[in-house]
Structure 1
Amino acid sequence: MAADMGIAQKLESEIICGICWNHISQPITMDCGHNFCQECLSWSWTVGVAPFSCPECRQVSQIRELPARNVSLENLTDIGKQLSSHRLQSTEGQRQCPTHKKVFEFFCEEDQTLLCVSCCQMPEHEAHKLSPIEEAAHNYRKKLHEILNRLGKDFDETEKLLPQQEEVRRPLVDWVSMISGEYYKLHYFVMEEELECGEILEAQIISNHKLSRHIQTLQEIIQEMDESSLKPNLDLLQDFTELLGRSESLLSQRSKAVIPELEEFPITALIDILNKFRVDISVDPKSDPTYVIVSEDLRSMRAGEGWQVEPNQPEDPVWHYVFAEQFFTSGRHYWEVDVTQIPQWVVGIYTPFLSTGMGRNPNSLASVFLLRCVKKKDHYNFQTYPGSLNHQAKDPVPRVGVFLEYSFGEGLFYNVLQRSLIYRFCPIPFTEPAIPVFSPGPPLSGTKPGTMTICPVDSHLCACCYSSSSVVEPQSTTRLPGCGPSLFQASPGRE
């Protein structure tokens, strides 16, 4: 019985069309030995499979026309159909519904289950689409046939991509080496810049040492002269010539007053790298409009009429700030502020509480990290609070970049136009959100308040698009004091 079943299955496999998976109709045999229905083969060659090639193994036939019908296989197929029918009836007769003990005659399309006549009458199948088993099998063979052809077409298209993939694996152009070389070149340029900056800073350190030694020598000779003036006449006259020569030599080396300048060391690709971390910033709408007027789009601000600065202003005037609506508790964030229209400004970072245990007082020394610019006569003073920066520059900074590295506790300020660092606060022991803060003033006495603008994310500044004529120069200037705790006067609206 098992041997007969095996022969029947082998015969069945020989008389099945490799395209429609039904018994072959008007069979055609290819040179490779695969058999197909005449209609299926003609249809297959019109939907993507190259003519004169086998749809199954893709072997191209040497005969450039549709092969003749295989009459012997057609007769064998008729015999196989009869045997298959008997075997199917015998097999399906043995497959019965376990509930009703009846032969399966229908197929439920929704549940994808075999049903007997009694199962079809059950309530759960009343609204379902039921098909006779032979009809359902035919439909599913047809779907398999369609999927098979789609897979065959996809196989052919993918096979055509193989040479291109080989080209990617073994490219004629070594892109990896070329791009790696560009990064190496960038590293080399940055190292050169670092060495140049180091040499300049080293020269400044040496100059400062020389100045310190000059001051020390002056102190020594002054003390020596004081002591000589008290000596007896003979001793005084004996040492006077040598002491006078040393004094004149020292006076000829008299140093000029040294005012620290804000150094600009452009760093290659610095701003391009920082722009990867650009974030969208806007002003908190609850900011106090009495002292700082905020635009409707919450991106621009200027000093309000209530923020008056008199010529006889106190040594420590009150400064007014607004906060950003956004806050940060992790990650890296970068934003830029346009200060072209204001000669004096403050940008920075505020955090309600630090791990130093200084509390939530916004006037706390450790709760704000600020960079401020003050206009004094013909130069601009840049100061940090807290911090030691107190340098001047001849030209204003039109746009300031602020970079926050929350995890490492860093707050950095940049001159965007010159692509250079202004100052870095580090470490900042953040434990709660860090909030950007801004101050578009104080306005100079007798001048119209200008506008400070938070730049959009897609806004970029370079030397070719910036003109110094766009800077509004004030009509008069007023000297402002150094930064102190009382300068941080938080505007209402931020707890």
Structure 2
Amino acid sequence: MTAAIEMLQKLQKEITCGICRNYFSQPVTIKCGHSFCQACLSMCWRSEALAFSCPECRQVSLDGEIPAVNEQLAQLTALGQQLIHQLLQRTEVQNHCATHNQVFKLFCGDDQTPLCVRCCQSPEHGAHMLSPIDEAAQNFREKLQNIQSQLGKGLEEIEKLIAEEKRPVVTWNWMISEEYNKLHQFLMEEETRCLERIKEVKKASKDRLSRYRQSLQDLMLELEEAGHQPNVELLQDLKELLGKTSSVLPQMAKAVVPELGDYPIPGMIEMLRRFQVDISMNPASASPYVTVYEDLKSVKAADDWPMDTKNPDTSVCHGILAEQTFSTGRQYWEVDVTQLPQWVLGIYTCYLGKKRPREADSYDSVFLLRCVKNKEDYCFQSYPGSLNHYVKGPVPRVGVYLEYSSGTLVFYNVHHSSLIYKFQSIPFTAPVIPIFSPGPPLLGIKPGPMILCPVISHLYTCCYSSH
């Protein structure tokens, strides 16, 4: 409203005659650009004896003729008068109490409202702090000035901060970039060392197999030569030949199944935990040969687990599915298998339109990692896939990483931060469901539960958002 009043005051000045100080009546504009009422200019010029000058700027007009009426200025004057009249009426209404039609005289500090004299007599405002409206307005203007001053100081501080941001004292971008470069270099060096170790292990394995082969060839040749010896000589060498045979054959048996190398990848598990999801087991999908705990986070083999010694692979069908399904993004979960000598983990997807994974003909829909105990060793097998490697000790916790878009499924040894096996380029076209199987149990050994590990939520919360 204040801005509107200021604009109308400027307009009022423009449509007022400088001689009579009233609104223009038949306004005329002389050559210097100033305007006056036609009658006022005529009267002024008649009173001048010698020169006809502008009453405003005193510029002399040589001809002394009164110009024609400025119709545009006349229309502007009429419009300005109308607008000023409407504003005065509106101001009059705003300055009056709508209830009592009296001019506002006081201001209520409690209700922050202007009041007329009759409003002040109301019990509603009896105990309120009242002050003259001019005094209240002045106080409020002072408050506004203080606020404006504070805002001005705040604006100055912001401008300084913006200037400092443009020319920062500490170059964080450069320093952080250098730290990441250092990390990249460290990982590249670790990768080189790891690949070199794999190369050395592979060469050692090849050399060992070559020596085994040579030992077998030598033994076969010696046995062949012994077969042509006379009976007495053959029997005399029998003990030595049998001793060589008993020492070579067990070595050959150990060389048949390769050992799974343990190659830690620094920081891998911590990075994967960015994508860790909280999953639970679906009791409706459980095999009758497993027992599901009430928290839906643990499952163990039931006492009546069927022991099919002729076809042990059918035991992978006895398990349970997760409650959650995944059809996009990246997910990671961890499973504690400390109390299990044998177990199966993996995923099920019906992308080929197969039946449920606990049915024997549904293997084309599952991707599994299986742990089988053989005497003192533990053997990892993949389905489908070619993994059939042994490890010397149990793996207490297994991490499972799923990347739907690329069709990737990876298993990790969490405690060693090392890779166990990786499925890739799986053609997912339907939701994926995690699988858990706590068996088959070993004869004479009572296994414990397979446990879903809780989400470790405190890692990376300052650097990464939820996925």
Q: TM-score, normalised by structure 2?
A: 0.59
Unaligned runs of 5+ residues in structure 1 are 9-88, 109-113, 118-128, 230-250, 462-495
Higher relative contact order, structure no. (Cα contacts within 8 Å, ≥ 6 residues apart): 1
The aligned counterpart of 1:377 is 375
> 1:282 pairs with 267, 280, 283, which one?
280
Contact 2:354-2:364 at 8 Å conserved across structures: no
Shift of 1:202: 2.1
The aligned counterpart of 1:45 is none
Relative to structure 1, the CA distance from residue 414 to residue 226 in structure 2 (aligned partners, 3 Å threshold; closer, same or farther) is: closer
Residues 272-311 of structure 1 aligned to structure 2 (within 5 Å): 272-288=270-286, 290-309=288-307
The aligned counterpart of 2:178 is 181
Shift of 1:333: 0.6
Q: Distance in 1 between matches of 2:335 and 2:458?
A: 11
**CA deviation string 1:274-306 (max 9, x = no partner):** 011111110013133732211211111111223
Relative to structure 1, the CA distance from residue 405 to residue 141 in structure 2 (aligned partners, 3 Å threshold; closer, same or farther) is: farther
Relative to structure 1, the CA distance from residue 397 to residue 303 in structure 2 (aligned partners, 3 Å threshold; closer, same or farther) is: same
Shift of 1:195: 0.9
Q: TM-score, normalised by structure 1?
A: 0.56
Contact 2:283-2:320 at 8 Å conserved across structures: no
**CA deviation string 1:195-242 (max 9, x = no partner):** 11211222344345556767887999999999999xxxxxxxxxxxxx
> 1:366 pairs with 341, 357, 364, which one?
364
Contact 1:303-1:441 at 8 Å conserved across structures: yes
Residues 70-469 of structure 1 aligned to structure 2 (within 5 Å): 94-95=85-86, 105-106=92-93, 149-207=146-204, 210=207, 257-258=254-255, 259-288=257-286, 290-309=288-307, 314-319=311-316, 320-354=318-352, 359-360=354-355, 362=357, 363-458=361-456
Residue identity matched to 1:434: V
Moved more, 379-388 or 215-224: 215-224
Relative to structure 1, the CA distance from residue 3 to residue 412 in structure 2 (aligned partners, 3 Å threshold; closer, same or farther) is: closer
Q: Which has the larger radius of gyration?
A: 2
Shift of 1:255: 7.4
Shift of 1:449: 2.6
Relative to structure 1, the CA distance from residue 150 to residue 460 in structure 2 (aligned partners, 3 Å threshold; closer, same or farther) is: closer
Contact 1:290-1:306 at 8 Å conserved across structures: no
User: Between Structure 1 and Structure 2, which shows a larger proportion of helix residues?
Assistant: 2
Contact 2:286-2:321 at 8 Å conserved across structures: no
**CA deviation string 1:3-58 (max 9, x = no partner):** 971599xxxxxxxxxxxxxxxxxxxxxxxxxxxxxxxxxxxxxxxxxxxxxxxxxx
Q: Distance in 2 between matches of 1:388 and 1:374?
A: 15
Q: Distance in 1 between matches of 2:295 and 2:378?
A: 30
Shift of 1:174: 3.1
Identity %: 43
Residue identity matched to 1:106: V
Contact 2:287-2:319 at 8 Å conserved across structures: no
The aligned counterpart of 1:26 is none
Q: Distance in 2 between matches of 1:222 and 1:449?
A: 44
Q: Distance in 2 between matches of 1:93 and 1:459?
A: 68
Relative to structure 1, the CA distance from residue 144 to residue 409 in structure 2 (aligned partners, 3 Å threshold; closer, same or farther) is: farther
Q: Secondary structure in 2 aligned to 1:353? A: coil
Contact 1:291-1:304 at 8 Å conserved across structures: yes
User: Cα RMSD between the aligned structures?
Assistant: 4.6
Q: Secondary structure in 2 aligned to 1:186? A: helix
Contact 1:106-1:131 at 8 Å conserved across structures: no
Relative to structure 1, the CA distance from residue 323 to residue 207 in structure 2 (aligned partners, 3 Å threshold; closer, same or farther) is: same
The aligned counterpart of 2:13 is 5
Contact 1:344-1:375 at 8 Å conserved across structures: yes
Unaligned runs of 5+ residues in structure 2 are 1-8, 17-79, 102-112, 117-131, 227-246, 460-467
Q: Distance in 2 between matches of 1:451 and 1:103?
A: 83
Shift of 1:273: 0.8
User: How many pairs are equivalent?
Assistant: 332
**CA deviation string 1:80-136 (max 9, x = no partner):** xxxxxxxxx966663289xxxx9785369xxxxx9xx9xxxxxxxxxxx9999xx99
Contact 1:211-1:255 at 8 Å conserved across structures: no
